[in-house]
Structure 1
């Protein structure tokens, strides 16, 4: 070999290093799907899912729910063509009286929700317009870089807004007052927010400053004498919803409501959903072990259980009337060479 001849580079093998894991040679359970196994599996799933679905539907049926959409009915006829001016006019009377009839006995606690439709709290820019550090740390009031345009109040000396951002700025501000037989029904607004939010995400020594003091008012106001951890309406609102139609907890009624009773609700129709074609609803609801009224889980369990039961019956008929001979399992690779496993 000529000493001046260039040496060829050594070929690099792409063959992976051998291991029982990469070659799938580890001991494993390799079931043979005989008709008996398949039928038994479908029947087992059906036996588990169908009763569970019936229990979920039964629990959902026991929930008593009153839903009242009020945004259209609470808009005066003179403002039908220009609803924005009704909301923005501070002199317009926004009081609206609604009457609700209890269809069945409602056992305490009775949860009060407000529902907004066509409100996209999951919009990327909206969700990011907040400062979590500012919400829990009194020394981080200046952390408003993600809150534009609701970050500071202009003037001779720019001052930060606490809490800043579009999420807090658009706080829901409709109010509800309930009465029964001319007696006011108390609304319990304690513990309506998540404990993790009141204890961790919102500081007990962080107080609102310069909130809703700008030229354009977005929604509700806050009590500057209370820390953010105690302003649970704000905390509930700032847990943004994933879907455009959502409910948020407003409070609780800690007394039973009998069937056919009439509840009078005085609503302050302050929140502007007319601008984006949204809807507002007031909801009274009891709860069960699965939560509020929700037929989805029951229908889902029944659907899956019914399909499995249908498939099991089909396989039974096929197995009885048109049986097929099974192959000899001794010819399977792991049975022919058991030592390799």
Structure 2
């Protein structure tokens, strides 16, 4: 009708089901808020009852354009609307708590089945006369950096036995450190000069470094060899990286170039005859850790089991410099459970959540039993 109230009427059309009531409401708005040039509709005194005033072609056209009624389009399908009462809420919260506790106990049980033995060696592998000058010792290439550590197996360890190295106080999640790499350079041999975010380890003597950046430059380079009595334990270093890294991230035709050729050596070296897709130690290292204490997979012992009481000798080449920033190093032997390595954090988190849920359920139960909510007199059922 060209009035300012039309948007409001269009909204009411979806809410009102009675067309006669809608017509009466529309007439009231037009009479109350008329606009210039608007023809006033006749007053329909039978608006609340059956309408029989519309006759002729106009009524026929209007009925013809009337949309077909269906409960689905009018959102009038029957629906179930459960009412959340206090007993139901208590039962749901208590059930969640019991489920969480069961999951937590399962996680802790799986973690306890994992056998793990570790040894910190950053101090033990430094000569006593060099304890006060460990940085000079580790940076001197003429010093013998090999040392032997002894690990005693506490329980039977079934193969495969995973070997990890653990580092402390090394912040791989630092923004500048984590960004110092070129993803395109790692996968495409044509992008060798894409080193703009790799500084200061971007080039050497004007030639690009492949792989560039601080992450690759600081590659962990301690080595371990294991023996049990006169038996040498072979370490399998294949398959320790992610399959997606081997197949996609690190190219099969990208080879190391000018790596660790600058004046300052940060860590390990790479074999220039092997493509990056075969340098799995590098792939594992470049998966940066989120916390300053982390473990990374070094290899696996696939061929033998270790028995309780076995003594394993570890020959360590202590090459990696953690002494300049006060870091620590450790070698870890571990089996794997259904949820991975030995960690009780997940189980404790579930137990804490389950205990909190049960406490809330108990509190609600006490409130329900000891202090029921008062009922309004008007809402109480009448006694007959």
TM-score, normalised relative to structure 1? 0.85
Structure 1 residue 251 and structure 2 residue 302: aligned? no
Matched residue SS, 1:266: strand
Q: Whose helix proportion is higher, 1 or 2?
A: 2
Structure 1 residue 300 and structure 2 residue 339: aligned? no
Structure 1 residue 39 and structure 2 residue 111: aligned? no
Structure 1 residue 95 and structure 2 residue 146: aligned? yes
Classify 1:131/1:327 alpha carbon distance in 2 versus 1 (closer, same or farther; 3 Å). farther
- After superposing on structure 2, the runs of 4+ consecutive aligned residues of structure 1 that deviate more than 6 Å are 17-20, 26-30
Matched residue SS, 1:84: helix
Displacement of 1:323:
2.3
Q: Which residue of 1 aligns with 2:189?
A: 138
Structure 1 residue 265 and structure 2 residue 314: aligned? yes
Quick one: distance in 2 between partners of 1:66 and 1:75?
A: 22
Q: Which residue of 2 aligns with 1:67?
A: 118
Structure 1 residue 285 and structure 2 residue 305: aligned? no
Q: Spell out, residue by residue over 1:115-145, the C-alpha distance to the aligned partner (whole angstroms, 9 max, x if none).
A: 1110011111111111111100111111111
Quick one: distance in 2 between partners of 1:163 and 1:78?
A: 38
Q: Spell out, residue by residue over 1:128-164, the C-alpha distance to the aligned partner (whole angstroms, 9 max, x if none).
A: 111111100111111111111111111xxx2111111
Displacement of 1:280:
0.5
Q: Which residue of 1 aligns with 2:209?
A: 161
Structure 1 residues 158-307: aligned runs within 5 Å:
158-254=206-302, 255-307=304-356
Displacement of 1:242:
1.2
Structure 1 residue 50 and structure 2 residue 101: aligned? yes
Structure 1 residues 320-339: aligned runs within 5 Å:
320-325=369-374
Q: Which residue of 1 aligns with 2:26?
A: none
Quick one: distance in 1 between partners of 2:196 and 2:359?
A: 58
Which of 193, 198, 201 matches 1:147? 198
Displacement of 1:48:
1.2
Quick one: distance in 1 between partners of 2:159 and 2:204?
A: 44
Quick one: distance in 1 between partners of 2:183 and 2:322?
A: 26
Work out the number of aligned pairs and report it: 307
Classify 1:327/1:151 alpha carbon distance in 2 versus 1 (closer, same or farther; 3 Å). farther
Quick one: distance in 2 between partners of 1:133 and 1:327?
A: 72
Q: Spell out, residue by residue over 1:289-315, the C-alpha distance to the aligned partner (whole angstroms, 9 max, x if none).
A: 111111111111111111212222232
Structure 1 residue 127 and structure 2 residue 178: aligned? yes
Q: Which residue of 2 aligns with 1:81?
A: 132
Quick one: distance in 2 between partners of 1:317 and 1:52?
A: 27
Quick one: distance in 1 between partners of 2:195 and 2:369?
A: 72
Classify 1:78/1:315 alpha carbon distance in 2 versus 1 (closer, same or farther; 3 Å). same
Bigger Rg over Cα: 2
Quick one: distance in 1 between partners of 2:367 and 2:297?
A: 53
Matched residue SS, 2:343: coil
- Structure 2 residue ranges without an equivalent (≥5): 1-7, 15-74, 380-384
Which structure has more RCO (C-alpha within 8 Å, separation ≥ 6)? 1
Q: Alignment RMSD, CA only?
A: 2.2
- Structure 1 residue ranges without an equivalent (≥5): 1-14, 21-25, 331-341
